[in-house]
Amino acid sequence: MNDSVESFEHASLLAAHDESNAYDAVVPPIVQTSLFTFSSYAEMEETYKGNKVRPVYSRGLNPTVRIFEEKVAGMEGAEDGLAFGSGMAAISSTVITFVKPGDRIVCVRHVYPDAYRLFETLLSRYGVTVTYVDGRDEAAVAAALPGAALFYMESPTSWTMEAHDVKALAALAKSHGVITAIDNSWASPVFQQPIKLGVDLVLHSASKYLSGHSDVVAGVVVGSKALIGKIRGQTLPYLGGKLSPFDAWLLVRGLRTLPIRMKAHEAAGLSVARRLADHDAVASVSHPGLGNQLPPGLSGTSGLFSFTFREGVVDIPAFADRLQLFKLGVSWGGHESLVVPAQVVLVQAAGPNSAIDFGVDPNMVRLHVGLEGADALWNDLAAAIDAARRP
Ligand SMILES: *Cc1c(COP(=O)(O)O)cnc(C)c1O
C-alpha cells in the first residue's frame, strides 16, 4: 500500500466523531426518522430560503446517512458525497444528471452488466446513445471522446478484469471537456482513489466491499461540491433513491474494518488465483495482480476475479455443485466466498441474439474469494475440479 492510501487510515474511519456526538456514544445513533420539525416559523422560513442547512425530511438530508457520505468522500479524497438505496440508483441518478436527449456517452467495454442495460434499454428510449471502447486502447478512447457528454469508466472491468490507465484516460477526457465517472466498487478506496487520478465522479455499489457483510444494498457517488450538488439538486429529489438511516448505520460499521478486510481479500485472492493459473484444467485467469507489476493507479487487488476452464475438460455444473465453501451466488464483497458460472448468468440469460458483449465465454467462471482462508478455499476448488473432471 502506498502513502496516500495509508493516509486515510484510520482516524476518520474509526473516530466516534460524528455530527451529533450524542451522549458521547462510540457508535453514532441511528436517526431513524422520516421527518424533522422546526422550533419556529422563523427557523422554517430561514431553512426554506436556504440560509440555514438542517435536516427537513430524510429523502434529502438525514444525519446517519450524512456520516456515511462524509466518510466515503473523505476516503476517496472528494469534497462531497451522496448515498443511494442501491449501486444502480447511484449510477442511474448520476448518469441522468449529466446527459439529455441527443447526447452521447463514451463507455469502456465490459462494464457492470446492469450499467450496460441501463444504457441500452432505458437511456436509449430517451435519445441518449453510447459508444463502447476498449479502455486499454487510448487512441480509440481519444477518437471517441470529442463531442461526448460523459465518459463512463470501470477499472478493472466486470468479469474480464481489463485494467486501464485511469489517470491517462481522465486527462484525455479533461482535454476534450468531457465529465468523467468511474465505478470503483472492485478496488474500493483502499486500493484505488480515482479523484486523485483526475476523475470527476466516483461511484460505488456499497452493497459490496464498503458494507462487507452482505447485509445491505446501497450505493454512493462522491466528487466536487459543484457536481454532487447538481445530482442532489436536480435528480435525487425526483428519482428519490435515497439510502435509509439503518442501512447507513450498517455501512458506517462496515467501513471501520474496510482496510483490514481488503488486505485479507487481496492476500487470499492472489493465493487462489496463482494456484488456479498453474492448474492443468484452467486455460486462463483474469486477475489484475498476476502480472509483474500492478496496473497504473491500483495499489492493490481485491478478492474478485474470473478464470476460464480449458474447453471440455471440466463439467462446470458438476464443479459448481461439488463446491462447499464457495456458494453459488451473484454479488460479492462480503466475508463469504462465491462462484458464478458465466454460462448461466450472462450467456444463456442474455440470449443468442444479444447485442451486448460482456466479453465472457461459456467456460468462464467468476470467483469471489472471501475471508475463510486461502488454503481451505484452494482445497475446496481443487477437490471440486477433480470430482468434475471429464473422463
Ligand atoms: C453490484 C454492482 C453494481 C450495482 O450495485 P447494486 O448495489 O447491486 O445496485 C454496480 N457496479 C458493480 C461493479 C457491481 O458489482
pLDDT digits (tens, 9 = 90+) for 133-181: 999 999 999 999 999 999 999 999 999 999 999 999 999 999 999 999 9
Q: What is the pLDDT of residue 180?
A: 98
Q: Are residues 237 and 316 in the same domain?
A: no
Q: Are residues 143 and 287 in the same domain?
A: no
pLDDT higher at 355 or 121:
121
Q: Are residues 100 and 223 in the same domain?
A: yes
Q: What CATH number does residue 265 fall under?
A: 3.90.1150.10
pLDDT at 285 over 90: yes
Q: Are residues 221 and 242 in the same domain?
A: yes
Instruction: Write out the DSSP string of 39-50.
Output: SSHHHHHHHHHT
Q: What is the pLDDT of residue 301?
A: 98
- Mean pLDDT calculated for residue range 2-29: 60
Q: What is the pLDDT of residue 356?
A: 73
User: Which residues face 270 on adjacent strands?
Assistant: none
Q: Are residues 97 and 194 in the same domain?
A: yes
- Mean pLDDT calculated for residue range 183-205: 98
Q: Are residues 101 and 235 in the same domain?
A: yes
Q: What is the pLDDT of residue 74?
A: 94
CA distance 39 to 324: 58
Count: domains in the chain: 2
| Ligand 1 pocket test target in 94, 208, 302 with most atoms within 8 Å of CB | 208
Nearest 10 degrees: CA dihedral of 234, 199, 110, 217?
-50
Q: What CATH number does residue 108 fall under?
A: 3.40.640.10
Q: Which of 256, 283, 307 is where one domain is finished?
A: 256
Q: Are residues 277 and 319 in the same domain?
A: yes
User: Which residues face 151 on adjacent strands?
Assistant: 106, 180
Comparing CA positions, the residue from 120, 265, 126 lying closest to residue 188 is 265
Q: Are residues 252 and 264 in the same domain?
A: no
3 state SS of 57: strand
CA distance 307 to 322: 17
Q: Are residues 215 and 275 in the same domain?
A: no
Q: Are residues 275 and 232 in the same domain?
A: no
pLDDT at 247 over 80: yes
* C-alpha angle 166-168-172 in degrees, rounded to nearest 5: 115
User: Which residues face 166 on adjacent strands?
Assistant: none
Q: What is the pLDDT of residue 5?
A: 43
CA distance 222 to 204: 9
- Check if 210 has its Cβ closer than 6 Å to any atom of ligand 1: no
- Mean pLDDT calculated for residue range 243-254: 97
Instruction: Tell how far the Cα of 170 is from the centroid of ligand 1, in angstroms.
Output: 22
Give the list of residues 6+ apart from residue 338 with CB closer than 8 angstroms, or none: 326, 327, 328, 329, 330, 331, 332, 367, 368, 370
CA distance 190 to 245: 24
- Check if 341 has its Cβ closer than 6 Å to any atom of ligand 1: no
Q: Are residues 72 and 21 in the same domain?
A: yes
Q: Which of 212, 232, 256 is where one domain is finished?
A: 256
Q: Are residues 215 and 296 in the same domain?
A: no
pLDDT digits (tens, 9 = 90+) for 72-112: 999 999 999 999 999 999 999 999 999 999 999 999 999 99
Q: Which of 225, 256, 287 is where one domain is finished?
A: 256
What is the domain extent for residue 358? Answer: 258-387
CA distance 176 to 42: 47
Nearest CA to ligand 1 atom 5: 87
In Å, how far are 86, 146, 204, 265 from 225, measured between CA atoms?
Answer: 21, 26, 18, 32
